[in-house]
Structure 1
Amino acid sequence: MKNRFKRAVTMSCAALCVAVVARAQMSVSQAAAPFQTETLLETQSSWDGTPYKAYPAGTPQLSVLKIVIPPGEALKWHLHDVPNAAYVAAGALTVERHRDGLHRSLKAGEVLPEMVKSLHRGIAGPQGATLIVFYAGKKGVPLSRP
């Protein structure tokens, strides 16, 4: 009789422990919000519709720059030899193509697939612009040039 009682108490404790652990896990999983993924950009061409060509041969080099442009300021005309994309973290930006003045305006939260081997510039809006620019480059190749 004593062994049956011990066994019953042991089984009850085990069942209670399983129930407490299961409830705790359920509470944790309910409290933790699932992560979210949002594709901000997926393209094979720059913002003006020019298709990207093959990457240059050699050792890949990824670079990420934070660029802060004061209100109303324009970057100098420049070009990139490698694909890159700019995320507007704050403010606003207008990009302009040199050869014909084609332009596009962006605000915070938008992404721009940059032009490759084509002169262009960025002009900050009245509050300035903060950009995070991701370059998919090659070791030894400058990110931009005049």
Structure 2
Amino acid sequence: MRWPKHTLVICTAAMLSLPTFFAQAHGDKRGVDSETLLESEHAWDGTRYSAYPQGTPQLSVLKITIAPNSSLDWHQHPIPNAAYVQSGVVTIEKKSSGEKRQVTAGEVLPEVVDIAHRGYTTQEGAVLIVFYAGKKGVPLSEAVE
């Protein structure tokens, strides 16, 4: 059986486009690169996350600038969050144990939940981008005495 010329052209074009179709369907896009910076079920100190607040989710993203030789007040977060250090160096310290973790530009820190802590800088300040997964009406952080 002989196929009409236009049918062969259409079939050939379809077969040649299949690799592109499957690549796009599976996330392979030219000019786009994806790198996972953090994937964690626990905070930087090893404490496992338990659950998100019930209700309608509210995402918040804050840019926090900490000047050189400065310290944030002691505080705790009632919701999960993660901090990306855009520039500089910040040290995170737990109030109860004094345990510390230094985080530098390009690193991500999964924050502790319901644990008193603070961040501080030395000669170099820091800029953090902090992503919060909370609920409307629930504060992002709470002061601790």
RMSD: 1.2
Q: How far apart are the structure 2 equivalents of 1:119 and 1:145?
A: 9
1:7 equivalent in structure 2: none
Counterpart amino acid of residue 80 in structure 1? H
Letter in 1 for 2:104: K
Unmatched runs of 5 consecutive residues or more in structure 2:
1-28
What is the match of residue 66 of structure 2?
69
Name the CA distance, whole Å, in 1 between partners of 2:112 and 2:50.
11
Deviation at residue 125 of structure 1 after TM alignment: 3.3
Alpha-carbon distance between aligned partners in 1 of 2:103 and 2:72, rounded to the nearest angstrom: 15
Give 1:126 shift: 1.5
Give the aligned partner of residue 37 of structure 2.
Answer: 40
Please give the TM-score of this superposition, normalised by the length of structure 1: 0.76
Structure 1 partner of 2:51: 54
Task: Name the counterpart of 2:95.
Answer: 98
Q: How many residues align?
A: 115
Aligned pairs for 1:124-139 (under 5 A) are 124-139=121-136
Amino acid at match of 1:45: H
AA aligned opposite 2:33: Q
Q: Distance in 1 between matches of 2:45 and 2:69?
A: 23
